[in-house]
Structure 1
């Protein structure tokens, strides 16, 4: 977490230590939920280790995986976090995981007393927007095989830990189609 915060080039060691003092470490087992639909996301978390998937239920009650979160990334139900409204998504740990979390209640005084934390939250908001835009564009213009290759190239060390039916859902294809793609690129 310290290295992640330092990468923004905003914070002094003292500011990072204050953040860490207000944070807590939480361990989740494979299958545990970080948040479920209709809960309010009241914390910002950093994935120290583990893999998470974000999903929602379609009108037909099918689980639609739309995001994976890997180590050294932030984890939250972002729209619920900023709006303080019930989440439309579920975030589940796909592996045993360890996260570092700070509650919104503890984060707000930092943002009120230090503009660096406001800048940090602004950067996070911008990154979330860019990632959402990329996801939309990629799902509209790239074929499933290209999206699969992109996922493999970005996270080769973790991809084997994600069940294939979640990858297929993420790509918007059937498991059978994913099997054909995997056979073609092998």
Structure 2
């Protein structure tokens, strides 16, 4: 079960086999059915997850019951509410499986222990956090400066492995547009081809 996690880690850092085995042995497999929640708003995020297979959405629901999707997590991606996980405060987010999924989970206690014991893991997570911040910064800039149709096209180019697995409603909630807009732009793209 941890082979894909090991492969993922080795893409970013060099780490002795023994240390990698110790780290990966702390993860527990969890299977979720489509629509199951890994985390619900108001709960404390007790674990960080590495997606083995399936698809998750990380989102919040506004006062009108509309979803605002922060990101999707698919194979070889990490999912968590980092604020709740690090600060052990109630989550403002939900994490829900969009498909039957399997995820490897590591607790905060274990994660903190490995930060202290295995400096390569701390380096790995520093790199992953930097990459996440860069992606978030780019997304904010795009949302502030690009028209909706261009953001949709960018989404398709950036995440081709995800787009075909999502509904118009889910993509719209991620981009901050209406599902009708997504339908119109998809029809427009098909008519050009």
TM (norm. structure 1) is 0.93
- Deviating beyond 3 angstroms after TM superposition, the runs of 4 or more aligned structure 1 residues are none
Corresponding residue number in structure 2 for 1:162: 166
Contact 1:36 1:89 survives alignment (8 Å): yes
CA distance in 2, matches of 1:8, 1:38: 33
Contact 2:19 2:118 survives alignment (8 Å): no
Unaligned runs of 5+ in 1: none
> Cα deviations across residues 21-43 of structure 1 (Å, max 9, x unaligned)?
11111111110111110111121
Relative to structure 1, is the Cα distance of residues 157 and 126 closer, same or farther in structure 2, using a 3 angstrom cutoff?
Answer: closer
1:55 counterpart = 2:59: yes
Corresponding residue number in structure 1 for 2:23: 19
Q: 1:171 aligns with which of 172, 175, 180?
A: 175
Q: 1:184 aligns with which of 179, 185, 188?
A: 188
Corresponding residue number in structure 2 for 1:38: 42
Compute the displacement of 1:48 (Å).
0.9
Relative to structure 1, is the Cα distance of residues 48 and 88 closer, same or farther in structure 2, using a 3 angstrom cutoff?
Answer: same
1:74 counterpart = 2:75: no
1:118 counterpart = 2:122: yes
> Cα deviations across residues 7-64 of structure 1 (Å, max 9, x unaligned)?
1123211111111211111111110111110111121211111111111122333221
Compute the displacement of 1:114 (Å).
2.1
TM (norm. structure 2) is 0.90
Contact 1:46 1:73 survives alignment (8 Å): yes
Unaligned runs of 5+ in 2: none
RMSD: 1.4
Contact 2:51 2:77 survives alignment (8 Å): yes
